[in-house]
């Protein structure tokens, strides 16, 4: 099943209702410039991991499920301990966790820098501190959890580049921190946007992100989501 933008979502976008979840990008195209520092596409197919946090994980997951080269995406928690990696505890905002997504991608099809370009262009507003759209708290912070020195290098270089380019009206506050662990969220959070397209939260806050992905990145957008089952790894 593909992600279908419902009529209400289209009306909300036309009316500008979803502006709270759209980054304040200065570039007219809406798509940020590609990173000058990036990993080259691999010569052989394999799997690598990226973990990103940018507000409610439903919308970030929905975006990356539509990116070519992405093989699996899970919603979950990063930044805290295993003992507090549950939705009820994380929602208190004092566990150290951020709502995150774990992305398994093929580095022969999409680079880490390309994933970050999508992340900053359509998935999150990196200028908002501890909030995204209607959601407020440290659990909704913008963060890049790197798991290799190369990911750290690419992430920091791209943030510096965007700052030099004045890509946003306000400073980027996205954290770049080492990944200690990723804990999958409860099964009902997985593929939430796909399974609940009429949920008003999805319509207002998350459907526009997928629309913008298709609009700004047609070369790497795919209509059919790369759906994950409730089998979490």
What residues does each domain of the chain span? Answer: 7-216
* Model confidence at 22: pLDDT above 70: no
- More confident call, 136 vs 7: 136
Average pLDDT over residues 47-74: 97
Asked about 56 being catalytic, the answer comes back as: yes
Evaluate if residue 212 carries a pLDDT over 50. Answer: yes
Domain covering 7-216 assigned CATH 3.30.1060.10 in the classification: yes
Average pLDDT over residues 9-15: 41
Query: Using 50, 70 and 90 to split pLDDT, how confident is the model at 6?
Result: very low
Q: Is the pLDDT of residue 86 over 90?
A: yes
| Residue 61 pLDDT | 97
Tell me the C-alpha distance between 81 and 84, whole Å.
6
Quick check: 25 pLDDT over 90?
Answer: no
Report the pLDDT value the prediction gives residue 23, as an integer from 0 to 100. Answer: 56
Q: How confident is the model at residue 226 (pLDDT cuts 50, 70, 90)?
A: low
* SS3 state at 124: coil
End-to-end CA distance of the chain: 22
CA-closest candidate to residue 208, choices 68, 28, 3, 67: 3
Question: Which residue shows structure tokens 């980027």?
Answer: 172
Residue environment code for 28-48, b if the CB has 16+ CB neighbours within 10 A, otherwise e: eeebbeebeebbeeeeeeeeb
Q: What is the pLDDT of residue 228?
A: 56
Question: One of 50, 52, 56, 202 is an active-site residue; which one?
Answer: 56
Average pLDDT of the chain, as a whole number: 88
pLDDT of 114 higher than 90: yes
**What integer pLDDT is reported at residue 147 of this predicted model?**
96
Has residue 164 got a pLDDT over 80? yes
| pLDDT score, position 29 | 58
């Amino acid at each position: 099943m593909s992600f279908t933008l419902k009529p209400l979502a289209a009306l909300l976008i036309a009316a500008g209702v979803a502006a709270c979840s759209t980054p304040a990008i200065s570039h007219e195209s809406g798509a940020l410039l590609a990173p000058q520092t990036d990993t080259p596409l691999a010569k052989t197919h394999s799997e690598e991991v990226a973990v990103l946090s940018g507000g409610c994980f439903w919308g970030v997951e929905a975006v990356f499920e539509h990116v070519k080269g992405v093989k699996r995406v899970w919603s979950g928690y990063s930044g805290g301990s295993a003992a507090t990696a549950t939705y009820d505890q994380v929602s208190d905002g004092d566990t150290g966790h951020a709502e995150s997504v774990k992305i398994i991608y093929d580095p022969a099809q999409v680079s880490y820098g390309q994933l970050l370009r999508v992340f900053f262009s359509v998935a999150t507003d990196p200028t908002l501190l501890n909030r995204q759209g209607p959601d407020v708290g440290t659990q909704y912070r913008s963060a890049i959890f790197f798991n290799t020195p190369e990911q750290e290098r690419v992430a920091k270089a791209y943030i510096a580049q965007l700052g030099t380019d004045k890509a946003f009206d306000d400073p980027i506050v996205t954290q770049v921190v080492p990944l200690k662990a990723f804990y999958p969220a409860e099964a009902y959070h997985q593929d939430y946007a796909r399974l609940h397209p009429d949920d008003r939260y999805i319509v207002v806050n998350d459907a526009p992100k997928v629309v913008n992905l298709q609009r700004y990145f047609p070369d790497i957008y795919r209509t059919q989501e790369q759906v994950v089952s409730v089998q979490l790894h």
